[in-house]
Structure 1
Amino acid sequence: MTLPEKRSPIDELRLRYEELAELAGSLAHEIKNPISVIHMNIDLLGEDLEELNAPETRRAMERVQIVREQCERMQGLLRDFMKYTKLRDIDLVSGSLNDQVEAVLRAYSAEASQRGIEIKRYLDGDLPYIALHSDSLQAALMNLVKNAMEATDRGGQILARTYVTKSGVAMDLIDTGRGVDNNTILHMFEPFYTTKEGGSGLGLPTARKTIEAHGGRIGVQSEVGQGTKFTLEFPALRRIVSGLNETEQDQPAT
């Protein structure tokens, strides 16, 4: 009789994490349905009260609005949480980090112009390709750019640059915004930690999980009143020799 292979403590921990993540995702999905029903019925109740058009319904309408807002907040939390729990295994293909960065910056160009924020880009044209999942990576980058926009006042700047490193490629996202203190830096990647009113506290944890699913890592430097710099690092699909790219390179998927 063959004995089952004994798992290492790390494998046991990973298995328990995956089981817990699956259970949490299923629970979030089950909670989502009754929240949707509550939201729908509170909307119908609000319509009924509006039709009465009586002065005494004003207070009831205010309470209906409070319930509606909290339902929307719960739905947003559940949506973000389900994204967080699903980020385990994603299919990666060869692609350009520059293309992903450029697509995200274009998406925010109109808002930046309205806010009076200048976006600068310094993208290395010789950047080697990385293994990526376009939708999830762009979502992570959009979260970082969105945070930078919200932290930067009119007249400020957001700078994105990509470059080659000894182990692969990297991207810096730098803003001249309000910055954060050391305590926030220590906790900003923890699920549900947030300094923003109404925030879910899952944006940055999900971004980090996405980047780690790409074999990368994310770091942050910030100073209150001076701005913030996020640095994302990814392994390249070809080796880097003494800081120079080799000639062989996988072509991106079309």
Structure 2
Amino acid sequence: MSSHYTELAETAGVFIHEIKNHLSTLGLNLQLLAEDFENPQSARERRALDRIVRLQNECSSLVEVSNDFLRFTHVKDLALRPYDLRKVLEEMVDFFEPTARAANVHVNVFLPADMPPVHLDPDLMKQALLNLLLNAQQAMLKGGELSLIAGVEAGFLVLHVIDTGPGISPEMIENLFKPFFSTKPGGSGLGLPTARKVLEAHGGSLQVQSQIGRGTCFTLRLPIRPPVIPQAGPAEVEPVIHEVPLP
């Protein structure tokens, strides 16, 4: 079954690459056509330009869906090495901050004073984290708080991604990690499945808890590879200013 899935994914990947090539050609021609109508002189020319812009947007959406699918199928191609997850988190939060600010979302980050290194693929982990951050931001339509809280539990490095959005119903949670399932208009439905696939490829896991009206918590677990220095107690974490209580 696994080999059949791999073969199917590789075939689909080749097909998607071909589609992207055609979309790139189409997008280039639409750009040239838009330049011809850069200064519309009549109502007809303005309507033509509007149609061209809509087609450009559709092409961009299709390219993004294609990229999401390719990322989903290529998760198995890991390049593992000892890495500091703190660095990944800091880079992604810095990259994500302008998007969060524009959406009136305040980001809180609470990390242990000494985070142990883990074996991971930095690029794939960044993609998984970005998917989770964007998912949380998009859930908070009126803004809110997004907290990233890390710690060490039973040989795992654990990261909680907590938002103050409207929460997710139990029925919705059942479908949350199914490929192509999305409640967002224009969403590919591959962001969360890709994130879980990345974590599982690292020997970890991605789980979710949610309460309607209170928020949602995604929990990432990554195994700490040996050598592991035993700790006398729980890792020291900076005081939590804001936390969403979840069951």
**1:33 to 2:39 alignment:** no
RMSD value over aligned CA atoms? 2.3
Aligned length: 233
Q: What's the TM-score, normalizing by structure 1?
A: 0.82
Q: How far apart in 2 are the matches of 1:243 and 1:101?
A: 23
Q: CA deviation at 1:68?
A: 1.8
Deviates more, 1:172-181 or 1:117-126: 117-126
2:40·2:46 contact (CA, 8 Å) conserved in 1? no
Match of 1:180 in 2: 168
Q: How far apart in 2 are the matches of 1:56 and 1:110?
A: 38
Q: Quick one: which of 192, 210, 225 aligns to 1:237?
A: 225
**1:43 to 2:35 alignment:** no
Change (3 A) 1:64 1:115: closer
Q: CA deviation at 1:123?
A: 1.2
Q: CA deviation at 1:88?
A: 0.9
Q: How far apart in 2 are the matches of 1:121 and 1:44?
A: 45
**1:66 to 2:54 alignment:** yes
| CA offset digits 1:58-106 (Å, max 9, x no partner) | 3333322222221111111111111111111211011122222222223
Q: CA deviation at 1:144?
A: 0.8
Deviates more, 1:71-80 or 1:103-112: 103-112
Q: How far apart in 2 are the matches of 1:240 and 1:108?
A: 31
Q: What's the TM-score, normalizing by structure 2?
A: 0.85
Match of 2:208 in 1: 220
1:119·1:158 contact (CA, 8 Å) conserved in 2? yes
Change (3 A) 1:139 1:55: same
Q: How far apart in 1 are the matches of 2:91 and 2:31?
A: 37
Q: Quick one: which of 5, 9, 12 aligns to 1:24?
A: 12
Q: How does 1:65-214 map to 2 (within 5 A)?
A: 65-152=53-140, 156-214=144-202
Change (3 A) 1:196 1:153: closer
Q: CA deviation at 1:233?
A: 0.7
Give the fraction of aligned pairs with identical amino acids, expressed as a percent.
Answer: 36
Q: CA deviation at 1:155?
A: 6.2
Q: How far apart in 1 are the matches of 2:230 and 2:120?
A: 24
Unaligned runs of 5+ in 1: 1-12, 246-254
**Partner secondary structure for residue 178 of structure 2:** coil
**Partner secondary structure for residue 34 of structure 1:** helix
Q: How far apart in 2 are the matches of 1:107 and 1:36?
A: 26
2:159·2:219 contact (CA, 8 Å) conserved in 1? yes
Letter in 1 for 2:90: E
Q: CA deviation at 1:108?
A: 2.7
